[in-house]
Amino acid sequence: MPLLIIMATAIVTTKIPKLVNDGFWTMAHDSRTDFAMTMLLVYLIIYGAGKLSIDSAISSS
């Protein structure tokens, strides 16, 4: 959850002003990494790390 807060802050503080000043395509190009990290985080929140993760090994013991 801390990463979700960090990513939301990064998008709001850096990408929204770029959208207003420079336009959509410049903002979209500059926010590729932020978007990818946010989508990966959402995936991990929904599906978890999987059977090969350390959490799974600890909980099955």
What is the rounded distance in angstroms from the CA atom of residue 11 to the CA atom of residue 5? 10
What is the value of pTM for the model shown? 0.68
What is the rounded distance in angstroms from the CA atom of residue 31 to the CA atom of residue 24? 10
What pLDDT score does 13 carry?
94
Contact 55, 36 (CB under 8 A): no
Is residue 60 over pLDDT 90?
no
Which residues, at least 6 apart from 61, have a Cβ–Cβ distance to it below 8 Å? none
C-alpha distances in Å from residue 59, one per residue of 44, 46, 47:
17, 18, 16
What is the rounded distance in angstroms from the CA atom of residue 10 to the CA atom of residue 12? 6
Is residue 61 over pLDDT 70?
no
What pLDDT score does 44 carry?
85
Per-residue pLDDT of 4-51, as tens digits, reads: 899 899 889 999 999 999 999 999 999 999 999 999 988 888 887 777
